[in-house]
Structure 1
Amino acid sequence: MKKKKLVIIGGDARQTEIAEQCLRHGIRVYLIGFEKWNRHAFDIVKANGYGDVPWPDVDAILLPVSGLKEGNKVEAVFAKQNVILQEEWVKRTKSNCVVITGIHTTSLHALLTKYPRPYHKLLERDDIAIYNSIPSAEGTLLMALQETDITIHGSRTIVLGFGRTGQTIADTFSSLGAYVKVVTNATSEKARAEVMGFTTFHTNALSDIVKDGDICVNTIPALVLSKEVLTHASSRMLIIDLASAPGGTDFDYAKKRGMKALLAPGLPGRVAPVTAGRILAQVLIDLLLEKEA
Structure 2
Amino acid sequence: MLTGIHVAFIGGDARQIEVIKKCIQLDAIVTLIGFDNLESIFTGATKKPLTCDVLKDVDALILPIVGTDDKGFVESIFCSKQLQFLNTHAASLKKDCVVYTGMAKPYLRQLLADQEIKLVELLSRDDVAIYNSIPTVEGALMMAIQNTDFTIHGSQVIVLGFGRVGMSMARTLDALGARVRVGVKRPEHIARIYEMGIQPFHLDELKQQVGNVDILFNTIPQLIVTADVIAQMTQTSLIIDLASKPGGTDFRFAEKRGMKALLAPSLPGIVAPRTAGQIIANTLSRLIAEQTSIQKEESV
Which TM bucket (shorter chain)?
over 0.9
Corresponding position of 1:124? 124
Q: Are 1:63 and 2:58 an aligned pair?
A: no
Of 7-16 and 154-163, the range deviating more from structure 2: 7-16
Of 74-83 and 224-233, the range deviating more from structure 2: 74-83
Query: C-alpha distance in 2, partners of 1:130/1:2?
Result: 29
Residues 222-241 of structure 1 correspond to what in structure 2 (within 5 A)? 222-241=222-241
Question: Displacement of 1:30 after TM fit?
Answer: 1.4
Question: Displacement of 1:276 after TM fit?
Answer: 0.5
Residues 210-221 of structure 1 correspond to what in structure 2 (within 5 A)? 210-221=210-221
Question: Displacement of 1:191 after TM fit?
Answer: 2.1
- 2:61 alignment partner, SS class: strand
Corresponding position of 1:170? 170
- 2:188 alignment partner, SS class: helix
Q: Is the Cα contact below 8 Å between 2:159 and 2:180 reproduced in 1?
A: yes
Question: Displacement of 1:189 after TM fit?
Answer: 2.1
Q: Is the Cα contact below 8 Å between 1:241 and 1:261 reproduced in 2?
A: yes
Corresponding position of 1:92? 92
Q: Are 1:15 and 2:23 an aligned pair?
A: no
Question: Displacement of 1:104 after TM fit?
Answer: 2.9
- 2:274 alignment partner, SS class: helix
How far does the alpha carbon of each residue in 1:96-140 deviate from its partner, in whole angstroms, 9 at most, with x for none? 100111113110122012211111110000000110010011001
Amino acid at match of 2:27: G
Q: Is the Cα contact below 8 Å between 1:162 and 1:190 reproduced in 2?
A: no
Q: Is the Cα contact below 8 Å between 2:153 and 2:178 reproduced in 1?
A: yes
Question: Displacement of 1:50 after TM fit?
Answer: 2.9
Corresponding position of 1:259? 259
Residues 1-293 of structure 1 correspond to what in structure 2 (within 5 A)? 3-50=4-51, 53=54, 55-293=55-293
Q: Is the Cα contact below 8 Å between 1:9 and 1:64 reproduced in 2?
A: yes
Off by >4 Å, runs of 4+ in structure 1? none
| Structure 2: runs of 5+ lacking an equivalent | 294-300
- 2:167 alignment partner, SS class: helix
Q: Is the Cα contact below 8 Å between 1:216 and 1:238 reproduced in 2?
A: yes
Question: Displacement of 1:229 after TM fit?
Answer: 0.5
Q: Is the Cα contact below 8 Å between 1:8 and 1:61 reproduced in 2?
A: yes
Amino acid at match of 1:17: E
How far does the alpha carbon of each residue in 1:8-29 deviate from its partner, in whole angstroms, 9 at most, with x for none? 1111111111111111111222
Amino acid at match of 2:198: F
Of 85-94 and 137-146, the range deviating more from structure 2: 85-94
Question: Displacement of 1:42 after TM fit?
Answer: 2.2
Of 2-11 and 270-279, the range deviating more from structure 2: 2-11
Query: C-alpha distance in 1, partners of 2:181/2:130?
Result: 21
Q: Is the Cα contact below 8 Å between 1:163 and 1:189 reproduced in 2?
A: no
How far does the alpha carbon of each residue in 1:209-267 deviate from its partner, in whole angstroms, 9 at most, with x for none? 11100000000011110000000001111111010111000000000111110000011
- 2:9 alignment partner, SS class: strand
Amino acid at match of 1:34: F
How far does the alpha carbon of each residue in 1:187-223 deviate from its partner, in whole angstroms, 9 at most, with x for none? 2322221111111111111111111000000000111
How far does the alpha carbon of each residue in 1:165-184 deviate from its partner, in whole angstroms, 9 at most, with x for none? 01111111111110000001
Q: Is the Cα contact below 8 Å between 2:3 and 2:28 reproduced in 1?
A: no
In structure 2, relative to structure 1, the CA distance for the partners of 1:116 and 1:153 (3 Å cut) is: same
Query: C-alpha distance in 1, partners of 2:171/2:266?
Result: 20
- 1:276 alignment partner, SS class: helix
Question: Displacement of 1:38 after TM fit?
Answer: 0.6
Query: C-alpha distance in 1, partners of 2:228/2:3?
Result: 60
Query: C-alpha distance in 2, partners of 1:86/1:243?
Result: 28
- 2:283 alignment partner, SS class: helix
Aligned length: 292
In structure 2, relative to structure 1, the CA distance for the partners of 1:52 and 1:273 (3 Å cut) is: farther
Amino acid at match of 1:4: I
Amino acid at match of 2:33: I
